[in-house]
Amino acid sequence: MKKFVLPVITTLLLVSCNKIEEKIDQTVQKTTEKVQQKTQQVVEESVKRAVDESVNSLTNSKNATLNEVFPGTATSIISEEKGKKIKIPGRPEGYIFKYKADIAVLLPFLENQPTSDESKSDKKARKIDGQNIIDKISLASKFLPENTFDTSFLEDIKNDKNIEYYKLKRFPNSSTIIYNPKNQTIIQYVEVNK
């Protein structure tokens, strides 16, 4: 009888351990799924809140001129100027301008702007690859409601290989410049780090 009882008890213990392990696995899986769902929900809510704040910032943005950011801007070097002061959550104060200008005249003007910290400033504007800029604008435009702003320029910069991109930091201002040599249109984003 002892020979029979020991294997039965061992078998029962083994089956019980397997059931306990199975129950633990199910509990862990359910908990993992709940955590993933909650995390996804929190991320979606955060993105929606940030997008709503950005949209409100864009729709409530104030008109601005290049002269506000770069005092002494000669009106003779730019034309057809449009500008907005915007606030993007988590970013410093910003301005976006669209105007026409000769890049050969504009860049030296911007490079000669006074700076509050020469060690944090560029001496010259540097030409950059625009793919990163295109990607950021494309991503942002996906979250914006239709008719928030005109995204037709996005198609132009995606498809036109002649578009030029520049970066220039003259602390506290940091400029990203998109230049279309065909029509001398410039789109400039200026971030003001105070």
- 75, 145: one domain: yes
Pairwise CA distance, residues 148 & 139, whole Å: 14
Other residues' Cβ atoms within 10 Å of the Cβ of residue 54: 20
Note the pLDDT tens digit of each residue in 26-77: 787 888 888 888 878 877 777 666 666 655 555 556 787 877 777 776 667 8
pLDDT in tens, 86-101: 776 677 788 888 888 8
Decide which of 21, 45, 60 is a domain's last residue: 60
Same domain, 101 and 43: no
The whole-number pLDDT of residue 193 equals: 80
- The number of distinct structural domains making up the chain is 2
AA identity, residue 155 = E
Co-location of 10 and 90 in the same domain: no
pLDDT band at 130 (very low <50, low <70, confident <90, very high): confident
In this structure, the answer to whether residues 32 and 74 fall within a common structural domain is no
Residues 156 and 67 in one domain: yes
Residue that has been written with the tokens 């709503």 in this structure: 52
Distance CA 124, CA 68 (A): 22
How far is it, in rounded angstroms, from Cα 192 to Cα 91? 9
Q: Please answer whether residues 192 and 97 qualify as being in contact, where contact means their C-beta atoms are separated by less than 8 angstroms.
A: no
Residues 15 and 109 in one domain: no
Domain extent, residue 38, equals: 1-60
Instruction: Say yes or no: 108 and 179 in one domain.
Output: yes
Question: For position 93, which CATH number holds?
Answer: 3.40.1000
